[in-house]
Structure 1
Amino acid sequence: MMDDLQGYAVRLYQHEGVEPLLLALQDEVGLDVLLLLSACWLGARGVAPAAVDWVALAGRCQPWRQELIEPLRQLRRLLKGESGTELLRAQVKACELEAEWLQLRRLASSLESLPGADSPCWLAQLHACCQAQGSQPDRAQLWRLAELCRELSD
């Protein structure tokens, strides 16, 4: 049985090599990690990229990410290494993670009913996801992420 989006996201994020790759795509290319995780999950389920309105999804996620998640992330990073701010940094990080989990639950509710197929299509979903966000990362990064998804499914 296929994981739900949250279960898949946790398993994939913990898979060796995935976290640094996703963070590089976020920090260097400006991609939304939650959308990338969703693309990987849809790809694992074999959902055709044409069945997903990536532009609408990215548009719905953008305000929450820009107005809540990114400012919390910036604050957490600013506090790193500042003497006496460990507790505050931990609280900010907890808020950032909760905001991301809430967004992932919202994504799941809009994507879970899409029909899948037997053939995974990670790379196609990742390309569609990136294109909708107006970004084209290095092909090698997307190929590597798709390969890590395949490894997870084996």
Structure 2
Amino acid sequence: MASETDSSQSGLLWDYALERYARDGVAECCVALQDEAGADVLLIIVAAYLAERGIPLTGQRVQVLVSGASALQASLIEPLRALRRANRPPDGEACERQRDTYQSLKQAELAAERWQLAQLAGLVSSWNPEQGPTRQLLQSNIRAVAGAAENSMLDRLIRALRTDW
């Protein structure tokens, strides 16, 4: 069972993810990075979260995050996402049962993502700030987990995620 600190960290990370994803332009950039570059959106969100806390992603930390995310991503999140997308109702033509199925798959995918963020929060809970948050740290952290994503796409995401530091 998770400790209260782990649970609190998990809640903070989930709230952060929801708030950032709702920002203008963030969801579109994240979906494009996911679809076009194969980036793991949850890792990008965690990278931004850590940057805002002054925690840089070193090579070893990136490895910890990637291996901590990969099993659940491959076994649960990606299959649920594929099922949800395959069952997306066509505009205006869907029956109620199809819409309900789509919404159920969407909720299951979100629950799996929340579970993954909780696991990642546990992995990063002992990492301490090493500097103040900066745009450069945000860029560095996101680039460390974004894989082969285009720089222009990453720059758009960084602008959308950035807070006024």
Q: TM-score range by the shorter chain?
A: 0.7 to 0.9
Give the TM-score normalised by structure 1. 0.86
Q: Evaluate the alpha carbon distance shift between residue 22 and residue 72 of structure 1 in structure 2; reply closer, same or farther with a 3 A threshold.
A: same
1:30 corresponds in structure 2 to 38
In the alignment, the residues of structure 2 paired with residue 88 and residue 35 of structure 1 have an alpha-carbon distance, to the nearest angstrom, of 28
Higher mean alpha-carbon deviation, 100-109 vs 75-84, is at 75-84
| Paired position in structure 2 for 1:145 | 157
Report the counterpart of residue 109 of structure 1 in structure 2: 122
Tell me how far apart the structure 2 counterparts of residues 6 and 113 of structure 1 sit (CA, whole Å). 17
1:71-90 CA deviation, whole Å, 9 max, x = no partner? 11111111112544111111
CA–CA distance in 2 between the matches of 1:32 and 1:125? 13
1:123 to 134, 139, 157: 139
Q: Secondary structure at the match of 1:141?
A: helix
- Whether the 8 Å contact between 2:68 and 2:119 is mirrored in structure 1 is no
TM-score, reference length from structure 2:
0.81
Q: Distance in 1 between matches of 2:24 and 2:126?
A: 29
Which structure would you say has the larger Rg? 2
Equivalent residue pairs, number: 147
Partners in 1 of 2:55 and 2:36 — Cα distance? 28
What is the rounded CA distance, in whole Å, between the counterparts of 2:164 and 2:73 in structure 1?
29
